[in-house]
Structure 1
Amino acid sequence: MEGWPSDFVQIVAALVQNPYMGIVIVDKNGYVTVANDTYIHIVGKTRDEVIGKYIMDVTSNSQLPKILETGEVHIADYWPCNGHDLIVTRFPIYNKEGDLIGAVGKSLFLDLGDAKALAKKVADLEEELAFYRDAIKSVFSPKYCFDVIVGKSSKMARLKSMAEQVAQTGSTVLITGESGTGKELFAHSIHRSSPRAHYPFVRVNCAALPEHLLESELFGYEEGAFTGARKGGKPGKFELANKGTIFLDEIGDMPLPMQAKLLTVLQEREFERVGGTKPVRVDVRIIAATNCNLENLVEQGKFRADLYYRLNVVVLDIPPLRERLEDIPLLVQAILPRLNQRLNTNVTNVSSEAIQLLRKYHWPGNVRELENLLERAINLADLNNEKQLTAKHFPSLQKQNIENILIDKKGETLADAVEQLEKEMIRQVLKQTNYNKAQTAKLLGLHGSVLYRKLKKYNLG
């Protein structure tokens, strides 16, 4: 080290004489040129017995000659020496011309117990990491699969088949349909059936987040980006969804400025955190959903045309319930056990008359409304310890049914409309009394003979 700066020489000397690490350096012929006090203590010899001696004469089980011969690097090798159990590293030394000039051996741990302690610490950290990984997975994981999407109508069968095929690709998916049709079920199911199923599924409700928070929620922020920003910053939903799927629900309600930033992510697959300067790259699949007509919004200038075209790759349009009324019995059969479990009730079935009543309704709220009406009906039945849902448990639908009769009879005479209404009222009260004619007559305020004539007239007997 002659001619080198004195400070540098002192630093190197301090490193070599590290009391927590044994160090030995040999030349290309295997003779010891440098050995610190720790190494000399480990081998149990004096300095004169080590420096300038052939390494195999110092320690007969040294592996440094092998390093000189093969050029191998031993990162962490077990080496017992003079009653010590050490973990050591060995590597060759080359000059700037690339010629071998020696080899170094140094201990990573002076005692195997230290290595075991480190191994335990690493194992504990891995266990903790696995815990948090599982926690994140449980929060950002799909809740539904295609099996829970009920429907055998031709429209639903085609839609499910298409969605199952699309799940295997990485294409962007746009799910459209009225509120309550099950758009989120399809989004979850597509992710769960995709190659990304073991990675996060992150849902963002674009309509629920205030405009000033949406950017930081989607893209995250750096420390100090704004007043109240968390120390160390915060990852956004896109980062959390990396390698998985991000579900942008109600995307039609996304503000125009955010649409421009989302378009950049779709095109470049990278973004910057709020307050950041470095681009963050992500590998994420995008599924978007809306109950709006995006084409109309584009024409009105409320939705970017370029973003619409980027989203409009694969479109799944979920039909409203009124267009698949044949699925109502299956939907009731699927929803009833789930509601019983949640409500701790035991209503086992639904009468055919009630099913017919459900099929006559136009369902503006779709499947979500059906579930709400069933929950209300179950509560009514449970109050009277009844195990079956009948038409009487759906009073709002009975009223709606009568209103529909009057609407359908527009253009007919008053007498015809009154007859239809009378027939419907008698039919409903018969069901309510389990076809007890005496009780039906009493509830309707009719004499028994009058009721019998009307039953015969309307063919209800």
Structure 2
Amino acid sequence: MSLDVLIIDDEADIRDLISDILKDEGFNSRVAANSTQTFKLISEKVPSAIILDIWLQGSDLDGLGILEIIKKRYPLMPVVVISGHGTIETAVSAIKMGAYDYLEKPFTHDRLMIVLKRACEAAKLKRENLDLKSKVVDKTELVGASSSTIKLKSDIEKVAPTSGRVMIHGEMGSGKELAARLIHKKSKKAHGPFIVFSPTCMSTDKMQQELFGEPERQDANSVFTKRLSVLEAANNGTIYIDEVGDLAMPIQIKLLKFLQDQILEKPATGKSLKVDIRFITATTKNLQNEINQGRFRQDLYYRLNVVPIKVPSLSERKDDIPLLVKYFIKQLAKFSGLKEREFSEDTMAALQAYNWSGNVRQLRNVIEWTLIMNPVSVGGYEIIKPDMLPSDILNHGVTITKPDNNLDMMSMPLREAREVFERQYLSAQMSRFNNNISKTSSFVGMERSALHRKLKLLSIHTASAKMRDEEYQEEQL
């Protein structure tokens, strides 16, 4: 889609000349002769950029007056100021008010296009930066104190100062990019760029274009005549390739060659560029299976998987859920304007009992949904109860907050009713603590051996490999 540029000048010949130049370069253009026409056109459609004459005859506001209003309403709007009767003071005033640059008439075709394209590029980068800040609360803090999280932190501390290539294995949403950012932050290249590249859903040609670049060309739908390839942009820093298993075979071959000497061919100039890049890759796939199926090169796998790191799923670190919940609440309150709330113990137990297929990312979304859909009443500070959670969390979790509706406990003798309660209670607690006998017994106040007997008596078949290992260790003592 072509960018829309609004040209504001009181001289019709100048307006038409600039408009023709922009159209030849692939832009859409509209023209205005005064402030009234300007704000009418902006109200109809906000332009992508503005070329603004300082001196406007027959206008209620001059160019600086228009610039002041535009920058208040649209602070990221790229504005190029032009004038045939300008002074240094006028130029300085325009720049201070937010104009990108100042051009004195007469100016050349090339000079105008260079400045306009740079202005649009700078505005685009500012928008992207703000978007990232609004979406990313803190991408370099690993929250949790479970044994799995402690091990991950230890692995990161060991590998970060080295130059070794790292392959991060883990489920979707578990925090692989977070681990990669932490490695970069603690590395010798921390002051260099951290570039993320995801080949998923890209065509082979698109992967080639993004990773390695392509010959310079004019594009009618873009203000850019040249853009850095991902590998060139990552020079002296770190590149993080997400879902590396999705790289097309021709790209795998080319990447393998690049890894041998890190020399990047420059198609636009025919020259070569020596770069220094640390590679961190990530995958949710079993790449050994991909290799066996002929979809991933074994030699590339060995090149990239020098230091493998496993990011645990949220189900493997349920002990971290209370800390994660508090962390997300504080961040959402800080960046989204939501009120800080406390989650009751029953609510926290329900979260810990749930099987988080979407991992930490899903947990954060659930916390945000819960805070949004359960606003605080005026002057109140309501604790989040289990019934405030999304229905699928309760419907698919093992928790005593969701009793079996098919059982009428009031019609049962005390012994049977107690057995039903104990079965639901212990099933929920075992799920909450990921079938860890030691933690469950400590929480419910029972000896481990007594809990073993109770679980067998109630026919609770939730024993995992962890639970069976503990039983074996007890037998050996």
Q: What's the TM-score, normalizing by structure 1?
A: 0.55
Structure 1 unaligned regions, length at least 5? 1-123, 408-414, 428-461
Counterpart of 1:391, as a letter, is P
Counterpart in the other structure of 1:315: 308
User: Measured at CA, do residues 208 and 189 of structure 1 come closer, stay the same or move farther in structure 2, by a change above 3 Å?
Assistant: farther
Q: Deviations 1:161-185 (Å, cap 9, x if unpaired)?
A: 1112211111111111000110111
Q: How far, CA to CA, are the matches of 1:339 and 1:145 in structure 2? A: 11
Counterpart of 2:392, as a letter, is S
User: Measured at CA, do residues 358 and 402 of structure 1 come closer, stay the same or move farther in structure 2, by a change above 3 Å?
Assistant: closer
Q: Deviations 1:322-350 (Å, cap 9, x if unpaired)?
A: 11111111111111111223432213211
User: Measured at CA, do residues 402 and 233 of structure 1 come closer, stay the same or move farther in structure 2, by a change above 3 Å?
Assistant: closer
Give the conservation status (yes or no) of the 8 Å contact 1:168–1:194: yes
Mapped pair 1:306 → 2:299: yes
**Number of matched residues?**
294
Q: How far, CA to CA, are the matches of 2:269 and 2:393 in structure 1? A: 56
What SS does the corresponding residue of 1:303 show, helix, strand or coil?
coil
Q: Choose from 390, 397, 401 the match for 2:393.
A: 397
Counterpart in the other structure of 1:47: none
Q: Choose from 257, 263, 267 the match for 1:270.
A: 263
Mapped pair 1:190 → 2:186: no
Deviation at 1:222, TM superposition (A): 2.2
Q: How far, CA to CA, are the matches of 1:156 and 1:192 in structure 2? A: 18
Deviation at 1:192, TM superposition (A): 1.3
Q: Choose from 322, 329, 347 the match for 1:354.
A: 347
What SS does the corresponding residue of 1:316 show, helix, strand or coil?
strand
What SS does the corresponding residue of 1:245 show, helix, strand or coil?
strand
Q: Choose from 368, 373, 389 the match for 2:366.
A: 373
Identity of aligned residues (%): 34
Q: Deviations 1:61-100 (Å, cap 9, x if unpaired)?
A: xxxxxxxxxxxxxxxxxxxxxxxxxxxxxxxxxxxxxxxx
Counterpart in the other structure of 1:452: none
Equivalent runs, 1:333-344 vs 2, <5 Å: 333-344=326-337
Deviation at 1:271, TM superposition (A): 2.7
Counterpart of 1:393, as a letter, is M
Give the conservation status (yes or no) of the 8 Å contact 1:145–1:193: no
Q: How far, CA to CA, are the matches of 2:141 and 2:354 in structure 1? A: 23
Q: How far, CA to CA, are the matches of 1:179 and 1:380 in structure 2? A: 26
What SS does the corresponding residue of 2:396 show, helix, strand or coil?
helix
Counterpart in the other structure of 1:210: 203
Counterpart of 1:217, as a letter, is E
Q: How far, CA to CA, are the matches of 2:399 and 2:347 in structure 1? A: 17
Measured on the aligned residues, the alpha-carbon RMSD in Å equals 4.1
Q: How far, CA to CA, are the matches of 2:234 and 2:275 in structure 1? A: 8
Structure exhibiting the larger radius of gyration computed from Cα positions: 1
Give the conservation status (yes or no) of the 8 Å contact 1:215–1:274: no
Structure 2 unaligned regions, length at least 5? 1-100, 102-117, 405-411, 426-477
What SS does the corresponding residue of 2:281 show, helix, strand or coil?
strand
Q: How far, CA to CA, are the matches of 1:373 and 1:294 in structure 2? A: 31
Give the conservation status (yes or no) of the 8 Å contact 1:144–1:188: no
Deviation at 1:251, TM superposition (A): 0.9
User: Measured at CA, do residues 289 and 267 of structure 1 come closer, stay the same or move farther in structure 2, by a change above 3 Å?
Assistant: same
Counterpart of 2:230, as a letter, is K
Equivalent runs, 1:105-116 vs 2, <5 Å: none
Give the conservation status (yes or no) of the 8 Å contact 2:241–2:281: yes
Q: How far, CA to CA, are the matches of 2:137 and 2:310 in structure 1? A: 18
Counterpart in the other structure of 1:180: 173
Deviation at 1:397, TM superposition (A): 2.0
Q: Deviations 1:233-253 (Å, cap 9, x if unpaired)?
A: 432011111111111111111
Counterpart of 1:182, as a letter, is G
Give the conservation status (yes or no) of the 8 Å contact 2:344–2:383: yes
Equivalent runs, 1:398-413 vs 2, <5 Å: 398-401=394-397
Equivalent runs, 1:47-446 vs 2, <5 Å: 148-224=141-217, 233-274=226-267, 277-382=270-375, 387-394=382-389, 395-401=391-397, 423=421
Q: What's the TM-score, normalizing by structure 2?
A: 0.54
Deviation at 1:401, TM superposition (A): 3.0
Give the conservation status (yes or no) of the 8 Å contact 2:137–2:335: no
Deviation at 1:366, TM superposition (A): 0.5
Equivalent runs, 1:29-44 vs 2, <5 Å: none
Q: How far, CA to CA, are the matches of 1:366 and 1:389 in structure 2? A: 21
Give the conservation status (yes or no) of the 8 Å contact 1:347–1:389: no
User: Measured at CA, do residues 402 and 168 of structure 1 come closer, stay the same or move farther in structure 2, by a change above 3 Å?
Assistant: closer
